[in-house]
Chains A and B, each alone.
Chain A
Amino acid sequence: MSVPELRATIVAPEEQETEVPQRGFVGQNVPRKEDKRLVQGQGVFFDDVKRHGMGYIHFVRSPYAHAKIVSVDVSQALELDGVYGTLTGDEVAILTDPFFELSTPPGAHIQDYALAVGRVRFVGEPVAAVVAASRELARDASELVEVEYEPLEVVVDGERALEEDAPVLHEEAGSNVVWSGSFDWGDYDAALEEADRVVRIERLHFHRFSSTPLECSGALVEYNRGTGQWTMHCNHQMPGIGAIWMAPSLRVGLDKLRFVTQDIGGAFGNKICLHPYFVACCLLARKLNRAVQWTEWRTDQHQANAHGNERTFLDIEVPVRADGTMLGFSVRAIDDCGAFPRYEPLGAIIWAQVTPGCYRWRNIRVDFTQVCTNKSPVSPNRGYSRMQHLWLTERIVDIVAQQLELDPVEVRKRNYVRSDEMPYETPNGCIYDSGDYARCLDIALELIGYDSLEEKRKEAESRRKLLGVGIGSTLDSGTNNFGQSQLVNPELQFSGNNEVATVKLDIFGEIVVTLGTVPQGQGHETTAAQVVCDILGCTPDDVNVRPGHDTYWNSHAGFSGTYASQFAVTGLGAVKGATEKLAAEMKKLGSVVLGCTPDDLELAGGTVRMRENAEAALPFMALGAILNANNAGLPEDLDVTLNCRYVYRPQFEVPDLERKFGNLTLTYATQIHACVVEVDRETGAYEIVDYAAVDDCGNRIHPQIVEGQVHGATAQALGAATHETFPYDEDGNLLTPNFYDYHVPHAMDMPPLKNGFIESPSPFSPLGAKGMGEGGGAGIHATCAAIQDALAPLGQPVVYDSCNPYNRVWELMRDPAASASLVTVESRDGSRS
Chain B
Amino acid sequence: MLLREVAYARPRTLEAAVRLLGEHEDARALAGGQSLTNAMKQRVGSPAVLVDLAELAELRRIDRAADGSLELGAMATYAQIVLSPEVSSTHPILAEVAHQIADVQVRNRGTIGGNVCWNDPTNHFPPLLAALEARMTITGPNGEREVGYDEFFVGVFMTAAGPGELLTKITVPAPGACGSAFASVPIGKDGTCIVNAAACVDGGAPRIAIGCVAGVPERATGMEQALAGGDLSPERVREAARGLGQALDPPSDVHASAEYRRHLAEVLAVRATLQAAGRAA
Give the 4 A-B residue pairs with the shortest CB-CB distance, closest first: A748-B189, A735-B254, A749-B188, A807-B260
Closest Cβ neighbor of B103 among chain A residues:
A746
Contacts of B264 in A (CB 8 A): 683
Q: CA of A239 to CA of B187 in the docked complex: distance in angstroms?
A: 38
Contacts of B42 in A (CB 8 A): 299
* Contact A748 to B255, CB < 8 A, known contacts A136-B3, A139-B2: no
Q: Which of B4, B254, B263, B267 has the most A CB atoms < 10 Å from its CB?
A: B254
* Contact A806 to B194, CB < 8 A, known contacts A299-B42, A682-B267, A743-B187: yes
Question: Are the C-beta atoms of A683 and B267 separated by less than 8 Å?
Answer: yes
* Contact A746 to B260, CB < 8 A, known contacts A682-B267, A806-B194: no
Contacts of B25 in A (CB 8 A): none
Q: Chain B contact residues (Cβ within 8 angstroms of A): what range?
A: 20 to 34
B244 at the interface (CB under 8 A from A): no
* Contact of A723 (CB < 8 Å), options: B38, B187, B267: B187
Contacts of B221 in A (CB 8 A): none
B1 at the interface (CB under 8 A from A): yes
Q: CA of A293 to CA of B4 in the docked complex: distance in angstroms?
A: 20
Residues of B152-194 contacting chain A, CB below 8 A = 185, 187-192, 194
A140 at the interface (CB under 8 A from B): yes
Mask: chain A, 566-587; 1 = CB below 8 Å from B; 0 = not: 0000000000000000000000
Mask: chain A, 740-753; 1 = CB below 8 Å from B; 0 = not: 11010110110000
A736 at the interface (CB under 8 A from B): yes
* Contact A683 to B185, CB < 8 A, known contacts A135-B2, A136-B3, A805-B255: yes
Question: Are the C-beta atoms of B2 and A727 separated by less than 8 Å?
Answer: no
Q: How far is the CB of B244 from chain A (nearest CB, A)?
A: 14
Question: Are the C-beta atoms of B263 and A749 separated by less than 8 Å?
Answer: no
Q: How far is the CB of A806 from chain B (nearest CB, A)?
A: 6
B256 at the interface (CB under 8 A from A): yes
Q: How far is the CB of B240 from chain A (nearest CB, A)?
A: 16
A565 at the interface (CB under 8 A from B): no
Q: List 12 A-B contacts (CB under 8 A).
A: A135-B2, A136-B2, A136-B5, A297-B2, A683-B264, A722-B188, A723-B188, A743-B192, A746-B188, A806-B194, A806-B256, A806-B260
Question: Are the C-beta atoms of B255 and A807 separated by less than 8 Å?
Answer: yes
Q: Which of B190, B255, B256, B263 has the most A CB atoms < 10 Å from its CB?
A: B255
B257 at the interface (CB under 8 A from A): yes
Question: Are the C-beta atoms of B257 and A807 separated by less than 8 Å?
Answer: yes
* Contact of B189 (CB < 8 Å), options: A746, A805, A806: A746
State the interface size on chain A (CB cutoff 8 A).
Answer: 27
Contacts of A749 in B (CB 8 A): 188-190
Q: CA of A810 to CA of B261 in the docked complex: distance in angstroms?
A: 11
* 9 other A-B residue contacts (CB within 8 Å) besides A297-B2, A740-B38: A683-B263, A723-B191, A735-B253, A735-B254, A741-B192, A749-B188, A805-B255, A806-B260, A807-B257
Q: CA of A551 to CA of B146 in the docked complex: distance in angstroms?
A: 68
A685 at the interface (CB under 8 A from B): yes
Question: Are the C-beta atoms of A727 and B254 separated by less than 8 Å?
Answer: yes
Contacts of A746 in B (CB 8 A): 103, 188-191
Question: Are the C-beta atoms of B188 and A748 separated by less than 8 Å?
Answer: yes
Residues of B216-268 contacting chain A, CB below 8 A = 253-257, 260, 263-264, 267
Q: CA of A284 to CA of B246 in the docked complex: distance in angstroms?
A: 58
Contacts of A140 in B (CB 8 A): 4-5
Q: CA of A740 to CA of B260 in the docked complex: distance in angstroms?
A: 20
Q: CA of A722 to CA of B256 in the docked complex: distance in angstroms?
A: 13
Q: CA of A725 to CA of B253 in the docked complex: distance in angstroms?
A: 13
Closest Cβ neighbor of B187 among chain A residues:
A743
Q: CA of A723 to CA of B38 in the docked complex: distance in angstroms?
A: 22
Q: How far is the CB of A112 from chain B (nearest CB, A)?
A: 29
Contacts of B255 in A (CB 8 A): 741, 805, 807
Question: Are the C-beta atoms of B190 and A748 separated by less than 8 Å?
Answer: yes
Q: How far is the CB of B29 from chain A (nearest CB, A)?
A: 22
Residues of B44-80 contacting chain A, CB below 8 A = none
Contacts of B191 in A (CB 8 A): 723, 743, 746
Contacts of A806 in B (CB 8 A): 185, 194, 256, 260
Q: How far is the CB of B238 from chain A (nearest CB, A)?
A: 10
Closest Cβ neighbor of A750 among chain B residues:
B189
Q: CA of A683 to CA of B186 in the docked complex: distance in angstroms?
A: 11
Contacts of B38 in A (CB 8 A): 740
Q: How far is the CB of B264 from chain A (nearest CB, A)?
A: 6
Question: Are the C-beta atoms of A743 and B260 separated by less than 8 Å?
Answer: no
Q: CA of A139 to CA of B264 in the docked complex: distance in angstroms?
A: 42
Contacts of B254 in A (CB 8 A): 725, 727, 735-736, 741
Q: CA of A781 to CA of B214 in the docked complex: distance in angstroms?
A: 36
Contacts of A722 in B (CB 8 A): 188
Question: Are the C-beta atoms of B1 and A135 separated by less than 8 Å?
Answer: yes
Q: How far is the CB of A459 from chain B (nearest CB, A)?
A: 21
Mask: chain A, 682-696; 1 = CB below 8 Å from B; 0 = not: 110100000000000
Mask: chain A, 665-694; 1 = CB below 8 Å from B; 0 = not: 000000000000000001101000000000
Q: CA of A735 to CA of B251 in the docked complex: distance in angstroms?
A: 14
Q: CA of A518 to CA of B200 in the docked complex: distance in angstroms?
A: 58
Q: How far is the CB of B42 from chain A (nearest CB, A)?
A: 7
Q: CA of A740 to CA of B192 in the docked complex: distance in angstroms?
A: 8
Contacts of A683 in B (CB 8 A): 185, 263-264, 267
Residues of A118-163 contacting chain B, CB below 8 A = 135-136, 139-140
Q: CA of A735 to CA of B252 in the docked complex: distance in angstroms?
A: 12
Q: How far is the CB of B190 from chain A (nearest CB, A)?
A: 5
Q: CA of A807 to CA of B3 in the docked complex: distance in angstroms?
A: 36
Residues of A767-805 contacting chain B, CB below 8 A = 805
Contacts of A136 in B (CB 8 A): 1-3, 5
Q: CA of A736 to CA of B187 in the docked complex: distance in angstroms?
A: 13
Residues of A705-754 contacting chain B, CB below 8 A = 722-723, 725, 727, 735-736, 740-741, 743, 745-746, 748-749
Q: CA of A727 to CA of B252 in the docked complex: distance in angstroms?
A: 14
Contacts of B4 in A (CB 8 A): 140
Contacts of B256 in A (CB 8 A): 806-807
Closest Cβ neighbor of B268 among chain A residues:
A683
Contacts of A811 in B (CB 8 A): 260
Q: CA of A685 to CA of B255 in the docked complex: distance in angstroms?
A: 12
Q: How far is the CB of A746 from chain B (nearest CB, A)?
A: 6
Q: How far is the CB of A48 from chain B (nearest CB, A)?
A: 15
* Contact A810 to B260, CB < 8 A, known contacts A682-B267, A727-B254, A805-B255: yes
* Contact of B263 (CB < 8 Å), options: A736, A743, A810: A810
Mask: chain A, 516-544; 1 = CB below 8 Å from B; 0 = not: 00000000000000000000000000000
Q: CA of A748 to CA of B191 in the docked complex: distance in angstroms?
A: 10
Q: How far is the CB of B35 from chain A (nearest CB, A)?
A: 10
Q: CA of A683 to CA of B193 in the docked complex: distance in angstroms?
A: 13
Question: Are the C-beta atoms of A743 and B267 separated by less than 8 Å?
Answer: no
Q: How far is the CB of B275 from chain A (nearest CB, A)?
A: 14
Mask: chain B, 1-23; 1 = CB below 8 Å from A; 0 = not: 11111000000000000000000
Q: How far is the CB of A694 from chain B (nearest CB, A)?
A: 25
Contacts of B3 in A (CB 8 A): 136
Contacts of A743 in B (CB 8 A): 187-188, 191-192
Residues of B101-156 contacting chain A, CB below 8 A = 103
Closest Cβ neighbor of A722 among chain B residues:
B188
Q: CA of A736 to CA of B253 in the docked complex: distance in angstroms?
A: 10
Q: CA of A743 to CA of B255 in the docked complex: distance in angstroms?
A: 10
Contacts of B185 in A (CB 8 A): 683, 685, 806
Closest Cβ neighbor of A684 among chain B residues:
B260
Q: CA of A546 to CA of B41 in the docked complex: distance in angstroms?
A: 38
Closest Cβ neighbor of B266 among chain A residues:
A682
Q: CA of A807 to CA of B260 in the docked complex: distance in angstroms?
A: 6
Contacts of A682 in B (CB 8 A): 267
Question: Are the C-beta atoms of A745 and B188 separated by less than 8 Å?
Answer: yes
